[in-house]
Amino acid sequence: MIRRTITTTGIAGLGVLALGLAACSSGETTGGSDGGDGGDEALSTLERLQEEGTITLAINGEQPYSWVDESGEPQGGTIAIHKEIFGNLGIDNIEVEEVAWDNLIPGLNAGRWDAVSAGMSILPERCEQAAFSAPEIMYTTTLAVPAGNPEGLTDLDSVLESGGDVTLALQSGAIEDGYVEQLGGYDSIVQVDSAASGLETVQAGRADAFALTAVSLAWMTEDMDDLETTGAFIQEIDGVEQIGAGATVFRPDDTELLEAYNEELAKITGDEQAYLDLVEPFGFSAENLPPADLTTEQLCAGDLE
């Protein structure tokens, strides 16, 4: 497990701090489990984080969303957004822990970290386990395949139509894993626990393709001679185009933290240039900016039409 600390560049003004220290919800208080004198029992999670000046984020190491570079520094589009937002909330330090995808939400709810920074898709089944911010990043899907695309693959349907002749690598718990399940399942699958493992599986010939978000695979294969990506596509299930929208994940009881986060996030997603200034260096574009009328409530309800 990797733990790194960065200092945010956002400016935490007194007005923002005053907002962050507003009355907390009754369910969002810290207990005396830290072994102290219990003086922090009345603090909400947001107030505790502001008092400590540090927030711990769980990441999965999927580029270009969030990862730790060779120098040990956290990087990525979601990290850039979080440095800005949490800095504006008076939380000047960010620590990250890189963990397996399937452990992100369970570890969050167990209190091992304060939020998940992984561009995680807002899906109904996940909304039953955790609280998602407003949509932050829209994305499509693609396949990483050997150079030359020897199987002539274009999308998940082309894989499934192969009758099992094509072996597909999927990241366990990722949205593409769910797509295949909703399409009726597939027998020739290799499960991996990270984007890097998925690419390595194709490079080693243990799979013919690896499905993940287009922006991730385009970024990660850019300098690879042995792999390429197919065209980006939007998966259809039962005739309905699937909307891929990533967000930051919080514990269900941390309502004040979530509301303060969303207020700062709206300032970014409501200004295209402000959004691009943060995420464009990591390969994201205006196409990844969520539409103003797309809500977390819609996505949690599975309302995609």
* Strands 115-121 and 54-59, bridge-based pairing: parallel
Report yes or no: 140 and 218 within 8 Å, Cβ to Cβ: no
For the stretch 88-117, pLDDT in tens is: 999 999 999 999 889 999 999 999 999 999
Task: Tell me the percentage of the chain whose pLDDT exceeds 70.
Answer: 86
pLDDT value for 21: 29
pLDDT value for 40: 53
Three-class SS of residue 270? coil
For the stretch 104-157, pLDDT in tens is: 999 999 999 999 999 999 999 999 999 999 999 998 999 999 999 999 999 999
Question: Quick one: average pLDDT of 237-263?
Answer: 94
pLDDT score of 26 more than 50: no
For residues 67 and 143, give the distance between their C-alpha atoms in angstroms, rounded to a whole number: 21
Rounded alpha-carbon distances, angstroms, from residue 20 to 41, 163, 254, 281: 17, 55, 13, 29
Report yes or no: 45 and 256 within 8 Å, Cβ to Cβ: yes
Buried b / exposed e across 140-172, counting CB within 10 Å, b at 16+?
bbbbbbbeeeebebebbebbbebeeebbbbbbe
pLDDT value for 240: 87
- The strand pairing partners of 6, in sequence order, are 94
* Residue 305 CB neighbour total at 10 angstroms: 8
pLDDT value for 75: 95
Tokens of residue 254, six digits = 């941390």
pLDDT value for 2: 55
Torsion of CA 203, 167, 213, 60, to 10 degrees: -70
Question: Quick one: average pLDDT of 7-29?
Answer: 36
Domains and CATH numbers, the chain: 2-138+245-300 (3.40.190.10), 141-233 (3.40.190.10)
Instruction: Place 302 in a pLDDT band, splitting at 50, 70 and 90.
Output: confident
User: Which range among 83-92, 169-178, 288-297 shows the weakest confidence by mean pLDDT?
Assistant: 169-178
pLDDT value for 4: 60
